[in-house]
Amino acid sequence: MRRAIRASVALWLFVAAGLIQVSARTNHSAAQLSGHQIRRIISLVPAATEMLFAVGAGPRVVGVSSYDTYPPVVKTLPSVGALIDPNVERILSLKPDLVVIYGSQTDLKQQLTRVGISVFEYRHAGLADVTQTIRAIGERTGDKTEADRVAAGIERDLEDIRVRARPLPKPRTLLVFGRESRSLRGLYASGGLGFLNDMLEAAGGANVFTGIKLEAVQASTEQVLAARPDVILETRSTSGAFPAGERGAEIDAWKSLASVPAVRNGRIVFLFDDRIVVPGPRVAEGTLLIATALHPDAFR
């Protein structure tokens, strides 16, 4: 019996060693392609897809994530899954030279690098990181000049908004990006970190949760009441908009919090726009939308 066990252990070790050897052999470290050597690009992140098109690498994009909608031409490209469900087989079948992945997709990164495909790791962060990422992507795809031009344009537009908003009063704002319909349960709001918070501040608003150093705050009723926002901004993706007939009911969901100034003064604003929730090259336009909502007189 013991011999049998020993024999089978030895056999398994032998097989395992063989597998390791095989995988080591296929792990040829491909020369990192760069610039216009990169002819086929896949993006698994909508914000990065927009950046690729903005810097002029769009014609080389051969596959996108299942959440991509902009620019409209991406809807005709093959969809290869997204953050939690990347379809490795389809990615490989499109023979990409470069795949833009989200920073947390470590398994995918390993699978791609093992077969010699280079990856560009992307992560959502602050507003300043958007233009920085555009420059980095442009450098990688050989579109540095155009990327610099696009990034500088965004930075200029944002600075314009900041300058215009600077002398205006800063309404204390609750920026909500998710909750259950017709109820205040499951409410998610922007904390003091991340691009939504940065956009709100650039637009001349003061985030009520600026002191909570998280990107997403699961705010309770008590926290909302205690924060006493002057304005409640609810933002969603364009496709996540409340149906027209539901907007009144969704505003009524706030009615029980009568002591909140935004509720009492009717300053609950819905902004359903991908330019706000996708931190891509349209962030300045998104920031302008927020600024207009906060300061309708100054920004019209």
Partner 1 sequence: MTVQRRFLRTVAGFGALAIGTIVLAPLVGSTAISLRRVFDRSIPFADNTDAQIFFVARLPRTLAGAMVGALFAASGVIFQGLLRNPLATPFTLGVSAGAALGAIVAITFNWSIALFGISAVPLAAFAGSVAAVGIVYALAQARHRGLSTTVLLLAGVTMNAFFSAMILFVQYFASFADVGRTLRWLMGDLDVSSYEPLVAALPASMVAFAVFAWLARPLNLLSLGPDSAESRGLDVARAQRGAFLSASLATGAAVSIGGPIGFVGIIIPHLVRLLVGPDHRLVLPAAALFGAAFLVVCDLVARTILAPIELPVGVITALIGGPFFLWLLIRKP
> Residues 214-233 vs partner 1: string with x where CB under 8 A?
x-xxxxxxxx-xx-x-----
For partner 1, the binding residue among 69, 79, 111, 237 (CB under 8 A) is 237
Q: Which stretch binds partner 1 (CB under 8 A): 36-44, 198-206, 242-250, 291-299?
A: 242-250
| CB closer to partner 1, 117 vs 277 | 277
For partner 1, the binding residue among 78, 169, 240, 296 (CB under 8 A) is 240
Question: 233 near 290, Cβ under 8 Å?
Answer: yes
| CB closer to partner 1, 27 vs 218 | 218
For partner 1, the binding residue among 34, 40, 79, 83 (CB under 8 A) is 83
For partner 1, the binding residue among 92, 94, 125, 257 (CB under 8 A) is 257
| CB closer to partner 1, 110 vs 256 | 256
Size of the site for partner 1 (CB under 8 A): 42
**Hey, how many other C-beta atoms are within 10 angstroms of the C-beta on 159?**
12
Nearest by Cα to 70 from 91, 97, 51? 51
| CB closer to partner 1, 138 vs 194 | 194
| CB closer to partner 1, 93 vs 183 | 183
Q: How far is the CB of 287 from partner 1 (least distance, A)?
A: 20
> Residues 62-81 vs partner 1: string with x where CB under 8 A?
-----x--------------
Q: Which stretch binds partner 1 (CB under 8 A): 132-140, 156-164, 253-261, 279-287?
A: 253-261
> Residues 180-219 vs partner 1: string with x where CB under 8 A?
xxxxxxx-x----------------------xx-x-xxxx
* Segment 1 to 30, residues that bind partner 1, using CB under 8 A: none
Residue 259 near partner 1 by CB under 8 A: yes
| CB closer to partner 1, 83 vs 136 | 83
Over the chain, what HEC string results?
Answer: CHHHHHHHHHHHHHHHHHHHHHHHHHCCCCCCCCHHHCCCEEECCHHHHHHHHHCCCHHHEEEECCCCCCCHHHHHCCECCCCCCCCHHHHHHCCCCEEEEECCCHHHHHHHHHCCCEEEEECCCCHHHHHHHHHHHHHHHCCHHHHHHHHHHHHHHHHHHHHHHCCCCCCEEEEEEECCCCCCCCCEEECCCCHHHHHHHHCCCEECCCCCCCCEEECCHHHHHHHCCCEEEEEECHHHCCCHHHHHHHHHCCCCCCCCHHHHCCCEEEEECHHHHCCCCCHHHHHHHHHHHHCCCCCC
Q: What tokens were used for 193? A: 């970190």
How far CA 224 is from CA of 34, 111, 163, 216, 235, in Å, comes to: 49, 44, 30, 14, 16
Q: How far is the CB of 291 from partner 1 (least distance, A)?
A: 23
**Residues at the site binding partner 1, with contacts judged by CB under 8 A:** 67, 83-85, 177-186, 188, 211-212, 214, 216-223, 225-226, 228, 236-237, 240, 242-243, 246, 249-250, 256-259, 264
